[in-house]
Amino acid sequence: MKENLKTIMKKREGGPSGGYTWFGVKIELLIRLAIAAALFIAGLIVSNSTTFMLLSFLIAGYDVIFRALVRIANEKTFGEELIITLAAALAFVINAGYEAAAVMIIYQAGFALRAYAMEITRNNLEDRVIQLPAEFTVLRDDEKVTIDSTDIQVDEILIVQPGDTVPVDCEVTMGESSVDLFALLGHTSNREVREGDAISAGAVNVSAEIRVRATSTLNDSAFAQAMAAVSDENSMPSAVETSIGRYSAVFAPFTIGICILVALVLMIFTSVSTEEAIHRALIVLIIACPTAMWVPIPLIYLAGLFRSLKHGVAVKGAAVLDSVSKTGAVVFDKDDLLSSEEFRVSAVRSDKLDPNVLLKVAAHAAIGSSRSESVAIVNAYEGIIDNSLIQRFEEIGSGIAAVIDGVVITMGGQSTMARLGVTIPSGEEGDPYTIFLALNGRYAGSIQLTRTIRTDAQKTVNSIEASGCDCIMLSDDTPENTRLIAAAAGIREFYGQCTPMDHLEKLQEIKERYPVNSVLYIGTDTTDTSTLDAADIGVCINGLRSPIALQTGSVVVLDSVADSLTDAVEAGKATRKTVRTTLTAVIVMKCLLFALSLFGITYQMWFAAMVDVIVGMAGILCSTSVWKNKE
């Protein structure tokens, strides 16, 4: 998870940002700014200040100049670094060296302030999602020892008191209690746990002391991996930020041309001096710098991603969050999302026995099994089980062999019956939920099972549809069973007897009916990845219990139900709204400054640079408004 907050000084290796930092700000930059500021002040005091101002300018901004040259050489494009460098260099030409130094110092100071604000804001966002204990009590050599949570190792025994938040994934080794997963899922979810049960990091112990064995470290827990996926800096660029990057690269030459035009117009058609005309044009150039526009965007998206994670949905990247906000259809397989682990008998078929007799025989044979299929068969039989008739019972693989009143009964799926040498008549083959039955080795009939609908299925469907999305169900079950499940869940569009290839074809048809990047497919860690890839966005559920789900889906619902997906949709909409509002405010401010500079009301370049920094900072500080924003 995040770095230990006790460590203020950090060493980050590699890359251009390597070096010692203080709350995200490079120490080397702070030292350079202090020296540059001292030289700037000295330049204001002495009579011949050009040398001091030039040194101040170079010390503060030599890396900015270098980046501008590298961008031109490697990318053949102009960026904001060139805008700042060019404006400052021309300021020296018109004997305004103090403005050149001031602009570069303000630009770099703004960079440092933004880095600081981003680090603090990121930490605040992480704390909004979850706060894990900094220390925890473990059992070492039969003694209770309090250690830093970052030092907890796998197989360490933790003592979890009522009210404690578990810092790592673990397994109960002693005691029974109830844990609340509110911090992980965004809604109260109390679960009873006992010896052998798993507990996720972030769960709060509610009722009694328990002892648990750590199955992960602080940084390797399922929730830590979800947070790492959400806050990955490489996933921050979005369509909006990319467009602003294009602005910086493509329109910078255009902006420079406009500034030249402004200077020429002022010199030819007005009475202002040449130096004043160039000065106003340089102010326009500073105003055109896009820093204030793109700086807040990553943190606004990060706030949206963390807001979604707060409600139990890990969205991997800003571009995915953009797509989630535009969701038009949510497609899923019945067994992945709506079916429970329990079955019911939907049909009994036999040409040789009365169906009730066949069900009676099957119930007597299955009474000794605790499998959910067997329980469904026993529950479907409304008569009394006569245990005296059961002479032998045995589970053979996934099937059952029993002797009932002298008759050998074998039950199981198609593969089990083939292994036992029982021939199933042509045309009688069933689906994976069909149980076949043989008497003394001869086929007698079959029992059709259907997985029952989850009790919260309708709530899930209603929640998704309430966010403006259509629910579409695919199923490999029979058309009739699919229809019944759909009716019970309140789903209007559904398709039965779908093979994996049918899933892909149906998804393609659905995508053609909806806007681009607006079709989600919800699955589990056992879902065919080709189906998840075929959708615009692949969503996996049950992320807390499945490392595969965390790695597979572009969106991962940490719970085993998908109704919290609507919170991700709302977070995406709020993020887009905040981005639009922020960009509008910045553009309005820049247009106002542009008008003021043309009329000579804004006299100083440093003032334009200062306003740009302030606006960028305001955008960063307002990024957390995503948590309150509603579309």
State which of 424, 453, 482 marks the end of a domain: 453
For 591-627, give one letter per residue: b (16+ CB within 10 A) or e.
eebbebbbeeebebbbbbbbbbbebbbbbbebbbebb
Beta-sheet pairing, 555-557 with 537-540: parallel
C-alpha 263/C-alpha 272 separation (Å) is 10
- pTM across the whole model: 0.75
Per-residue pLDDT reduced to its tens digit, 224-244: 888 888 876 655 555 555 555
Same domain, 197 and 141: yes
- Asked whether 524 and 542 are in contact (CB, 8 A), the reply is yes
Kindly give, in sequence order, each residue whose CB lies less than 8 Å from that of residue 537, ignoring residues fewer than 6 positions away.
320, 323, 324, 327, 517, 519, 520, 521, 554, 555
Same domain, 346 and 330: no
Residue with tokens 């995200």: 24
pLDDT-based confidence at residue 630 (cuts at 50, 70, 90): low
> Does residue 308 sit within a domain?
no
State which of 425, 453, 481 marks the end of a domain: 453
Same domain, 447 and 459: no
pLDDT score at 410: 94
> Does residue 517 sit within a domain?
yes
> Does residue 154 sit within a domain?
yes
Of all helices (H) and strands (E), which one includes residue 25? strand 25-26
State which of 544, 563, 582 marks the end of a domain: 563
Question: Of the ranges 112-121, 256-265, 351-360, which is most confident?
Answer: 351-360
pLDDT score at 234: 58
For residue 448, give its domain range: 340-453
Q: Which of 76, 106, 75, 70 is nearest to 88 (CA)?
A: 106
Instruction: List the CATH number of the domain containing 392.
Output: 3.40.1110.10
Does pLDDT of 9 surpass 70? Answer: no
Does pLDDT of 326 surpass 80? Answer: yes
Q: Where are the beta strands (DSSP E) in 334-406?
A: 339-349, 390-396, 399-404
C-alpha 159/C-alpha 144 separation (Å) is 8
> Does residue 190 sit within a domain?
yes
Same domain, 258 and 372: no
> Does residue 502 sit within a domain?
yes
> Does residue 173 sit within a domain?
yes
C-alpha 335/C-alpha 549 separation (Å) is 16
Same domain, 13 and 122: yes
pLDDT score at 103: 85
Instruction: List the CATH number of the domain containing 518.
Output: 3.40.50.1000
Per-residue pLDDT reduced to its tens digit, 495-506: 988 888 888 999
pLDDT-based confidence at residue 6 (cuts at 50, 70, 90): very low
Same domain, 201 and 279: no
Return phi, psi of residue 39, to 5°.
-65, -35
Same domain, 362 and 412: yes
Three-class DSSP labels, 420-439? CCCCCCCCCCCCCCEEEEEE
Same domain, 490 and 358: no
Query: What strand order describes the sheet that includes 9-12?
Result: 9-12, 19-22, 25-26
> Does residue 444 sit within a domain?
yes
pLDDT score at 517: 85
Residue of 80 and 353 predicted with greater confidence: 353
pLDDT-based confidence at residue 445 (cuts at 50, 70, 90): very high
Same domain, 585 and 540: no
Return contacts of 434-438, CB within 8 angstroms, 24+ apart: 435/362, 435/373, 435/377, 435/411, 436/411, 436/412, 437/358, 437/361, 437/362, 437/365, 437/409, 437/410, 437/411, 438/409, 438/410, 438/411
pLDDT score at 235: 57
pLDDT score at 233: 60
Same domain, 117 and 264: yes
Instruction: List the CATH number of the domain containing 149.
Output: 2.70.150.10
Average pLDDT of the residues in 73-102? 79
Per-residue pLDDT reduced to its tens digit, 508-524: 999 999 988 899 999 88
Q: Where are the beta strands (DSSP E) in 293-338?
A: 313-315, 329-333
pLDDT score at 629: 64
The pair of three-digit structure tokens given for residue 26, joined into one six-digit string: 């490079």
Q: Domain count of the chain?
A: 4
Same domain, 397 and 518: no
Same domain, 118 and 144: no
> Does residue 3 sit within a domain?
no
Residue with tokens 């247009």: 591
- Asked whether 121 and 299 are in contact (CB, 8 A), the reply is yes
pLDDT-based confidence at residue 170 (cuts at 50, 70, 90): very high
Average pLDDT of the residues in 123-151? 87
Does pLDDT of 208 surpass 60? Answer: yes
Kindly give, in sequence order, each residue whose CB lies less than 8 Å from that of residue 434, ignoring residues fewer than 6 positions away.
413, 414, 446, 447, 448, 449
Kindly give, in sequence order, each residue whose CB lies less than 8 Å from that of residue 131, ignoring residues fewer than 6 positions away.
165, 183
